[in-house]
Amino acid sequence: MNPALPLAMLAFAVLAPAESYVPHDIARVRDQVEFYEHWFGGPLRTMEEPSFSRADSLGEFRRRFRLVVLPSFHPAYAIRIDESRDGSAQVRIARLDQRREGTRIAESESFVLAAAALQPVDEAIDAAALRSRRGEPSSGSCTDGVTFVFELVDEAGRVFVHRHQCSLNATLLRLVRHVDALRRTVGSDLPGYLNES
């Protein structure tokens, strides 16, 4: 056995780039890959969330969906729904303690959702038609506020759609509300983001 091999493998591990969270074929992302990886991938890495960019991201699941909520001035959080082939789902929710680098998970919860309880969320995901929105531009002139990122992985592949709160249409807003309502213990500032308080 070559004694230099483990050292070479270690060097590769150190030099290997971090796994990508953002699909780089999105027009708005192409010129700013590093920015988007930091803005979107950074919080997900801190939340210990998996990347959906790998070919085997679907794994044993029928469908995987994640809503990432990225506010300008509040902690980010993510709600991931991993749907089993039997219709039930594993739900994981994580919320950070702050938006800057060096953050940590402040709150998290995981639970199994029965098929009947998952049905309204499934219907909202289907109605949102995320696959048809993939290339659709985010409308409105939005600055600070909240960006919602919708990620879907199924047998047809991966979809990544991001919208600012000012460009959510009624269908996407319904999806946000259904998914956000899954929280049991993790906090949310959603009513304030949507001016409903």
**Run of H or E including 110:** strand 105-113
Is pTM beyond 0.75? Reply is: yes
Give the model confidence (pLDDT) of 162-176 as tens digits.
888 888 889 999 999
Domain 19-190 = CATH 3.30.300: no
Q: What are the distances in angstroms from CA 6 to CA 2, 3, 15, 19?
A: 8, 7, 14, 22
| pLDDT computed for residue 28 by the predictor | 57
**176-180: long-range contacts at Cβ-Cβ below 8 A with a sequence spacing of 24 or more?**
176/67, 176/148, 178/120, 178/121, 178/124, 179/65, 179/67, 179/79, 179/81, 179/121, 179/124, 180/67, 180/69, 180/79
pLDDT in tens, the chain (197 residues): 444 434 433 333 333 346 788 876 665 555 677 777 888 888 999 999 999 988 889 999 999 999 999 988 888 999 999 999 999 999 999 999 875 555 799 999 999 999 999 999 999 999 999 988 755 555 555 667 888 999 999 999 999 988 888 888 899 999 999 999 999 999 887 777 776 54
Residue spans per domain, the chain: 19-190
Angstrom distance (rounded) from CA 151 to CA 153: 7
